[in-house]
């Protein structure tokens, strides 16, 4: 998921959209109420792009966790974040089977699900576009770049010959 400009502010409920940078603060807009406010430099502001979930192997970016919830729920809302802890852990285990049971607390799971539901209700869950690493798309793009590069080289060489001939 693309989580650009979506932030969480420690001590404040919900999610915010980054609007602008001020002199000693940043201007944010609450996603649910639309109310704008300042987040001062003393506040702990976390971009959702930079948050990861601890797993037994390597940390998983929050965007990837949201992708998995989105796929599981077919774009719909996730379970109620106020469900009992066992239900939340069982649900999260389906999404991230190898999450670290020691480092990921019930409050973390609750927060991830709550954030997902907020973004889903606001239609802000934008899947990342896969980059063409291989296949026809990458080959076609490489061929176009090569053709464009050859065209420029040949044109430059032709111009040089014309200048030399003059």
What is the distance between the alpha carbons of residues 122 and 124, in angstroms, rounded to a whole number? 5
How many domains are there within the chain?
1
pLDDT tens digits along 106-128: 999 999 999 999 999 999 887 76
- Note the pLDDT of residue 4: 86
- Note the pLDDT of residue 131: 53
Q: Would you say the pTM of this structure is higher than 0.85?
A: no
Q: Which domain holds residue 42?
A: 6-121
Per-residue pLDDT for 138 more than 50? no
Dig out the tokens for 140 from the structure: 């076609």
Per-residue pLDDT for 151 more than 90? no
Asked, for residue 153, whether it belongs to a domain, the answer is no
The DSSP line for 49-102 is: GG-EE-BSSS-EEHHHHHHHHHHHTTTS----TTS-HHHHHHHHHHHSTTB-TT
Asked, for residue 154, whether it belongs to a domain, the answer is no
- Name the β-bridge partners of 39: 26
- In this prediction, residue 133 has a pLDDT band, given cuts at 50, 70 and 90, of low
CATH of the domain at 109: 1.10.10.1650
pLDDT tens digits along 45-103: 999 999 999 999 999 999 999 999 999 998 899 999 999 999 999 999 999 999 999 99
- Note the pLDDT of residue 166: 46
111: which DSSP letter? H
């Amino acid at each position: 998921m693309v989580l650009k400009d979506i932030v969480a502010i420690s001590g404040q409920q919900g999610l915010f959209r980054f609007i602008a940078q001020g002199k000693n603060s940043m201007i944010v807009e609450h996603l649910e109420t639309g109310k704008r406010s300042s987040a001062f430099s003393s506040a702990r502001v976390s971009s959702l792009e930079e948050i990861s979930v601890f797993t037994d192997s390597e940390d998983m970016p929050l965007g990837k966790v949201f992708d998995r919830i989105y796929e599981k729920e077919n774009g719909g809302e996730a379970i109620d974040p106020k469900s009992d802890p066992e239900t939340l852990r069982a649900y999260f285990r389906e999404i991230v089977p190898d999450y670290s049971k020691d480092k990921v607390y019930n409050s973390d799971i609750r927060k991830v699900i709550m954030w997902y539901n907020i973004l889903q209700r606001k239609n802000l869950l934008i899947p990342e576009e896969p980059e063409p690493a291989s296949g026809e798309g990458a080959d076609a793009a490489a061929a176009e770049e090569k053709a464009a590069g050859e065209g420029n080289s040949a044109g430059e060489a032709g111009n040089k010959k014309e200048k030399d001939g003059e």
